[in-house]
Amino acid sequence: MKQEYLKYIRDNVFPTAFCPGCGHGILLNAFVSALGELDYDQDNLVLVSGIGCGGWIASPHMNTDTLHTTHGRAIPFAIGVKLANPKLKVVVISGDGDLTTIGGNHLIHAARRRIPITVICGNNNIYGMTGGQASATTPVGAKTMTTPLGNDYRPFDLVKLVKGAGGEHVYRYTAFHAMQMKKAFKDVLQKDDFSFFDILTGCPVQYGRRNELREPAKMIQWMKDNSVLYSGEYHDDKIMVGKF
């Protein structure tokens, strides 16, 4: 990140609360770089988040108006901000537990209505902050605190979920795809439409340590090896990345 982009980060927020190797930091970096490259007006931007480590990506790091809300409810608060003042650019950044598990209902309705907000899910496939319980995006077989023998239930495919609900401008990237992620952020920041990002951030501490991906480098490598760029064909056994 360029030095001058630090204007988008509050002065007194380092060291961050994120664990070493946390992919939420890569997401934050890509988002700030997107703002920087656009020289985006930070005083016309409102970042809304829920509860969890994912909710901390924006609050307090981002040097913009920030609304750190209740668990799962970031989207309704964001809708209130956007509808009351449509001139503002409103971006929700939060975790998978927050946006898709406790808050899943709000997500599908925002997609259905195509409310002109951007929703970015920092998806680490687990409830990181509370110690590693299964979420709606935990893969089948994955070990978590609440599924020590492996998760029995199928996860949401967030791209299909949001598209199925009527959402447009739907993207997925992993922590390996920082450049592509940044470019896509730049695209949506210049539009006033609904858009959704499933960003696989990875949680080496809570997810990795239980699933043989404790080393952050190994987790990123795993993301790289298992992802395929979407070009019309969707493979359910791969991490499909790109624009959908």
- Closest contact distance (angstroms) between CB of 47 and other proteins is 10
Helix intervals (H) in the chain: 24-38, 74-84, 96, 104-113, 158-164, 178-189, 216-226
66 binds, among other proteins, ligand TPP, none (CB under 5 to 8 A by kind): other proteins
User: Closest Cα partner for 99 from 131, 77, 132?
Assistant: 77
Q: Is 131 in the site for other proteins (CB under 8 A)?
A: no
Encode burial over 186-222: b for 16+ CB neighbours within 10 A, e otherwise: bebbeeeebbbbbbbbbbbbbbbebbebeebeebbeb
130 binds, among other proteins, ligand TPP, none (CB under 5 to 8 A by kind): ligand TPP
Residues 6+ apart with CB under 8 A from 120: 27, 31, 91, 92, 93, 94, 185, 196, 197, 199
Q: Is 149 in the site for other proteins (CB under 8 A)?
A: no
3-state secondary structure 55-83: HHCCCCCECCEEEECCCCCHHHHHHHHHH
Q: Is 83 in the site for other proteins (CB under 8 A)?
A: yes
Binders of other proteins in range 3-42 (CB under 8 A): 10, 12, 42
Q: Is 235 in the site for other proteins (CB under 8 A)?
A: no
* CB nearer to ligand TPP: pick between 51 and 200: 51
Q: Is 70 in the site for other proteins (CB under 8 A)?
A: yes
Residue 238: both structure tokens together: 């791969």
Q: Is 167 in the site for ligand TPP (CB under 6 A)?
A: no
Q: Yes or no: say if 146 and 133 are a contact pair by the CB < 8 Å rule.
A: yes
190 binds, among other proteins, ligand TPP, none (CB under 5 to 8 A by kind): none
Q: Is 124 in the site for ligand TPP (CB under 6 A)?
A: yes
Site string for ligand TPP, 52-91 (x = CB under 6 A): xxx----------------x--------------------
Binding site for other proteins (CB under 8 A): 10, 12, 42-44, 46, 48, 59-60, 63-70, 73, 75-85, 87-88, 105-106, 109
